[in-house]
Amino acid sequence: MEVTFLLSEIESVAREILKKSRSKTILFYGEMGAGKTTLIKEMIKALGAEDPGSSPTFSLVNVYDTEKGLVHHFDFYRIKDESEAWDMGFEEYLQEDAWNFIEWPEKIPNFIEEKHQKLEIKVQEKGLRKLKLC
């Protein structure tokens, strides 16, 4: 799946990603400000959460109870070493039957598995975003 969209179209894009993802663990790649958190919030909302909240930049993970099960939203931007993910029990989160949305997965390379869905998001001209599921 590859799509170019405006932020005003993000609701339909979020629903489409949830339908087409080959895994409940989705790795979000993109520069700071590309819209990863905004997209994840919309996906959490599409799964039926009452409050999609905010980025877990300081807590590393936020957990949401949705109509379609648990969602773990991870943001590893601030970790300095992959051992911080081990220390928080990250691998245990991955073993649950839950959606896992992971920002900055490049910070935790030893946790990345081929079966996980990769998503790249890039800012284009005129406020457009280019998204690619790979």
Q: Which domains does the chain have, with CATH numbers?
A: 2-133 (3.40.50.300)
Q: Is the pLDDT of residue 127 over 90?
A: no
Q: Is the pLDDT of residue 91 over 80?
A: yes
Q: Residues with Cβ < 8 Å from 58, sequence gap 6 or more?
A: 78
Q: How far apart are CA 133 and CA 1, in angstroms?
A: 5
The single residue listed with the structure tokens 């799946």 is 1
Structural Rg of the chain based on CA atoms: 14
CB 65 within 8 Å of CB 98: no
Q: How confident is the model over 92-111, as pLDDT tens digits?
A: 999 999 999 999 999 999 99
Burial (0-12, 13-18, 19+ Cβ within 10 Å), 130: middle
Query: What residue type is 70 in one-letter code?
Result: L
Q: How many CA atoms lie within 13 A of 7 on its CB side?
A: 14
Q: How far apart are CA 114 and CA 4, in angstroms?
A: 25
For the chain, what is the largest distance between any 2 Cα atoms, rounded to a whole number of angstroms?
41
Q: How confident is the model over 21-80, as pLDDT tens digits?
A: 999 999 999 999 999 999 999 999 999 998 766 666 667 899 999 999 999 999 999 999
Output the 3-class SS for 77-100: CCCCCCHHHHHCCHHHHHHCCCEE
